[in-house]
Amino acid sequence: MRYMIIVKASLDSEAGVMPEEQLIAEMAKFHEELAAAGVLLDASGLQASSKGWRIQYSGSKRMLVDGPFTETKELIAGYTLIQVASKAEALEWSKRFPNPAGEGRDCEIEVRQLFELDDFEPSEAVERFRELELSKND
């Protein structure tokens, strides 16, 4: 089972304020523990939305919308992707996640399970995705 631990954006992250050294150290230690346990798949911070864009779909039309985006609470500042045996294990790891805002400050992370190909009905399209997954491992 794969889960994404999502770090919500803040006014600081959107302003490009870099995390303090103590927080970087705490995150490094946590991610080292994930790696040692064999559950870490990927992790990264995201640049401010001012450096990004969105594509809005309306029928067959696509419209480019440049950042920044105003609703900070809807933005993501970073993520950690883990693969574990159960929801309970994912919950335990997420409870140990360092506070991304710094200890003692209010903050929230969100954890979401990723779909696996076996969650979908068998089809030609699903098999094409399965082949892509296999080719990544070659």
pLDDT at position 103: 86
In a domain, 18, yes or no: yes
In a domain, 39, yes or no: yes
Q: CB neighbours of 15 closer than 8 A, spacing ≥ 6?
A: 48
Question: In the structure encoding, which two tokens stand for residue 15, read together?
Answer: 């302003």
Q: CB neighbours of 138 closer than 8 A, spacing ≥ 6?
A: none
* Separation CA 14–CA 3 (nearest Å): 24
- The percentage of residues in the chain with a pLDDT greater than 70, rounded to a whole number, is 100
User: What are the pLDDT digits (tens) for 86-134?
Assistant: 999 999 999 999 999 988 888 899 999 999 999 999 999 999 999 998 8
Q: Which domain holds residue 8?
A: 2-49+75-136
pLDDT at position 65: 95
In a domain, 122, yes or no: yes
* Separation CA 41–CA 8 (nearest Å): 19
In a domain, 61, yes or no: no
Q: Which helix (H) or strand (E) holds 106?
A: none
pLDDT at position 134: 86
In a domain, 60, yes or no: no
138 pLDDT band, cuts 50/70/90, is: confident
Q: Are 1 and 90 contacting, i.e. CB atoms less than 8 angstroms apart?
A: yes
Q: What is the CATH number of the domain that holds 82?
A: 3.30.70.1060
Q: Dihedrals φ, ψ of 20, to 5°?
A: -70, 155
Specify the number of domains making up the chain: 1
Number of residues that this document lists for the chain: 138
| pTM of structure | 0.90
* Separation CA 4–CA 104 (nearest Å): 24
60 pLDDT band, cuts 50/70/90, is: very high
- How large is the average pLDDT for residues 50-72? 93
In a domain, 54, yes or no: no
- How large is the average pLDDT for residues 49-71? 94
In a domain, 8, yes or no: yes
